[in-house]
């Protein structure tokens, strides 16, 4: 361990615990989102729905109806969402289920190949939108039914996000169901690791262990394999050179998974669950020892080094 690293670690340990809540990785350059889902709200430019507006089904194409459903969701107009989704189901559900029955896995290949399954994609997306609308309206029983319909009937549906990727409504629906069953009102956003880590920091600051665990579990689920690959490629920390942090940020998955686990360890520690905290701290040291976390004040710190200090504080080697 370098002297500068030791000094930094000591400095961090003497900071108020809440200071860690502002420590995030603001850059995720080159991040490849999980291929299975990263839901966004792809409202096409010019698609505007005012709450309570008379329903206009346009040209009745599935894509147009889905756009109107997204736009209605954006203004929390449940009745409009229901109207558009009901129309999509009336016109295209049968075709969507026929497409579903022909598949044994998600369609891969070019965008055009995936778009060929337009009915399946649009109906599955519409049911997901309906589930979101019910959930926002506080109707979780109905939301759960809509989310389950995506999983049961349109599992291989894919939705195009204009930011450049497809995401899978069934996977997002499963997450939504899990959160409903857990009795928490959370949103994983676009599933980027740094966004999830930020949410975990916020939950830690609020001392909400259950919420921290949910966010950290999602980070680890999605990015563990990539993080371990990055860890195995290193023999030491990536030290910034000439004031540039780009190289260190390029190990985004390792940094975010290590940081997320540190947050979980802290949450257990604050909750008086030092046995559980020690397991998490040891996991960081054993599996993600070269993870680094950027502090907006202008430096990186090392979760594994602080984890060692925490273990010493609670009397566990």
Pairwise CA distance, residues 69 & 73, whole Å: 6
Residue 317 pLDDT: 62
Residues 6+ apart with CB under 8 A from 37: 167, 168, 169, 171, 172, 175, 191
Do 77 and 22 share a domain, yes or no?
no
**Domain membership flag for residue 25:** yes
**Domain membership flag for residue 160:** yes
Question: What's the structural domain count of the chain?
Answer: 2
Residue 16 has pLDDT above 90, yes or no: no
**Domain membership flag for residue 143:** yes
Token readout for 33 is 């989102």
Token readout for 310 is 């925490």
Residue 44 pLDDT: 45
Do 146 and 218 share a domain, yes or no?
no
Decide which of 182, 211, 245 is a domain's last residue. Answer: 182
pLDDT tens digits, 22-77: 344 434 444 444 444 444 444 444 444 444 446 777 678 999 999 999 999 999 99
Do 177 and 197 share a domain, yes or no?
no
Decide which of 164, 182, 200 is a domain's last residue. Answer: 182
- 32 burial class (0-12, 13-18, 19+ CB within 10 angstroms)? exposed
Per the CB < 8 A criterion, the answer to whether 195 and 218 are in contact is no
**Domain membership flag for residue 36:** no
Residue 247 pLDDT: 84
Do 150 and 173 share a domain, yes or no?
yes
Tell me how crowded residue 70 is: count the other CB atoms within 10 A of its CB: 23
Residue 26 pLDDT: 39
Do 95 and 198 share a domain, yes or no?
no
**Domain membership flag for residue 269:** yes
**Domain membership flag for residue 284:** yes
pLDDT tens digits, 106-138: 999 999 999 999 999 999 999 999 999 999 999
* Structural domain of 133: 62-182
Do 236 and 273 share a domain, yes or no?
yes
Do 308 and 198 share a domain, yes or no?
yes
Give residue 182's pLDDT band: very low, low, confident or very high (50, 70, 90). Answer: confident
Polymer length of the chain: 317
pTM of this structure:
0.70
Per the CB < 8 A criterion, the answer to whether 193 and 29 are in contact is no
Decide which of 162, 182, 202 is a domain's last residue. Answer: 182
**Domain membership flag for residue 45:** no
Do 213 and 152 share a domain, yes or no?
no
Do 11 and 117 share a domain, yes or no?
no
Give residue 192's pLDDT band: very low, low, confident or very high (50, 70, 90). Answer: confident
Residues 6+ apart with CB under 8 A from 112: none
Pairwise CA distance, residues 10 & 118, whole Å: 57
């Amino acid at each position: 361990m370098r002297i500068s690293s030791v000094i930094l670690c000591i400095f961090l340990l003497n900071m108020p615990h809440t200071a860690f809540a502002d420590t995030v990785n603001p850059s995720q350059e080159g991040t490849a989102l999980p291929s299975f889902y990263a839901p966004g709200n792809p409202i096409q430019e010019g698609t505007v729905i005012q709450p309570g507006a008379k329903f206009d089904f346009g040209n009745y194409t599935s894509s147009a109806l889905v756009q109107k459903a997204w736009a209605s969701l954006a203004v929390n107009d449940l009745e409009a969402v229901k109207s558009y989704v009901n129309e999509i189901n009336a016109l295209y559900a049968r075709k969507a289920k026929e497409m579903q029955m022909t598949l044994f896995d998600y369609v891969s290949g070019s965008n055009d190949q995936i778009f060929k399954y337009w009915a399946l994609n649009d109906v599955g997306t519409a049911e997901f939108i309906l589930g979101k609308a019910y959930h926002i309206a506080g109707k979780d029983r109905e939301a759960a039914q809509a989310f389950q319909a995506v999983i049961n009937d349109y599992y291989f549906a894919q939705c195009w996000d204009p930011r450049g990727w497809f995401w899978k409504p069934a996977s997002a629906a499963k997450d939504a169901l899990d959160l409903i069953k857990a009795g928490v009102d959370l949103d994983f956003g676009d599933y980027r690791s740094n966004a999830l880590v930020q949410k975990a920091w916020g939950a830690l600051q609020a001392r909400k262990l259950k919420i921290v665990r949910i966010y950290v579990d999602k980070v680890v689920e999605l990015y563990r394999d990539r993080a371990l690959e990055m860890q195995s490629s290193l023999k030491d920390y990536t030290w910034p050179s000439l004031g540039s942090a780009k190289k260190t940020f390029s190990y985004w998955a390792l940094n975010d998974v290590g940081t997320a686990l540190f947050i979980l360890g802290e949450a257990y520690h604050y909750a008086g669950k030092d046995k559980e905290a020690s397991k998490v701290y040891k996991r960081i040291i054993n599996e993600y020892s070269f993870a680094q976390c950027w502090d907006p004040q202008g430096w990186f710190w090392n979760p594994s080094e602080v984890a060692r200090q925490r273990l010493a504080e609670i009397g566990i080697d």
